[in-house]
Each structure stands twice: as C-alpha cells, then as structure tokens.
Amino acid sequence: MHLFRPALASLGLCLAAACSGGGGSDATDGSSERGDAEAREVAATGGADAGEAVFRRCAACHSIEPGENRVGPSLHGVVGREIGGVGDFRYSDANQQFDGDWTEDNLNAYLENPRGFMPGTTMAFAGIPNEQDRADLIAYLGTLN
C-alpha cells in the first residue's frame, strides 16, 4: 500500500498512473475501499507539515532553495524532476545513468533504500525505513515545486 499517494493527491501532485489505486482491479469484496480508507487515515495524521520535520534528516546535505546545491543537489522542485536533472550538480555515474523521473514511487523506493534502488549511488544516507515518514517527506517536497 502506498500511503503517500493520498497526501500528494490532496496537494494536487498525484500522477494519474500512480494514483489509479493499482492495477485497475474491480474487486467487489470491499478490500480496495478498506485499503484506501486506511491510507487516507494514516496520511491524514501526517503530510507536508510532518514532512518538514522529517526533512531535517536531509538538510545537512540538501537545500530546498532553488540552485543551492550542497553535498547533494537542491531538492527544490524534485517531485517530477528528471533523475539527475540539476544541471550544475555533479552526480555519481549511477545517478547519471539512471533513466526516469523522480515520481512519487521512485522517491519512495529511493528514500527507503537509496543503494538498493540505485546501486552505485554515492549518497551516504542509509534510508528512511518508516513508510509514513517517507510519505510525509514526499508530501513536503511536493510543496516545493
């Protein structure tokens, strides 16, 4: 279950494919509705405000100011941006060769386990194991667009 989708959808940041609920299933047993309700309930307890607090873990290496790179690139506008898309930042080979955009799903997977998502990345951060913390952080980053 992707808990960050409802929070991002409420901010108007959801990509149509990412928020489709997964797979187009027409389940009639109510399990989909229960899962959606659970996700909305958990997301309602956090969101962008809580994500700002989670961002403190990132602030030593990343700025949220446009064009202000540190050890890591600026995270301003990261949601939806091309992976490796900050032109004046020197990325690792792994990051430069990774194809795609920082979608909600890609951010979630990367934030959970950076080296597992992108083998060879030079980001020293081990990841954020808590799904709600990741959802909150992604919601916060989405407000920076």
Domains of the chain: 4-12+34-142 (1.10.760.10)
- Residue 46 has, within 13 A of its CA and on its CB side, a CA count of 26
Q: Is residue 102 a contact partner of residue 78, using CB atoms and an 8 Å limit?
A: yes
pTM (whole model) above 0.75 = no
Give residue for tokens 């949601």.
79
- Rounded to whole angstroms, the Cα distance separating 79 from 62 reads 14
* Structure tokens that stand for 27 in this block: 């389940």
Query: What are the DSSP E strand ranges found in 2-133?
Result: none
Contact 83, 95 (CB under 8 A): yes
pLDDT tens string for the chain (145 positions)? 344 444 443 333 333 333 333 333 334 444 445 444 444 444 444 599 999 999 999 999 999 999 999 999 999 999 999 999 999 999 999 999 999 999 999 999 999 999 999 999 999 999 999 999 999 999 999 999 8
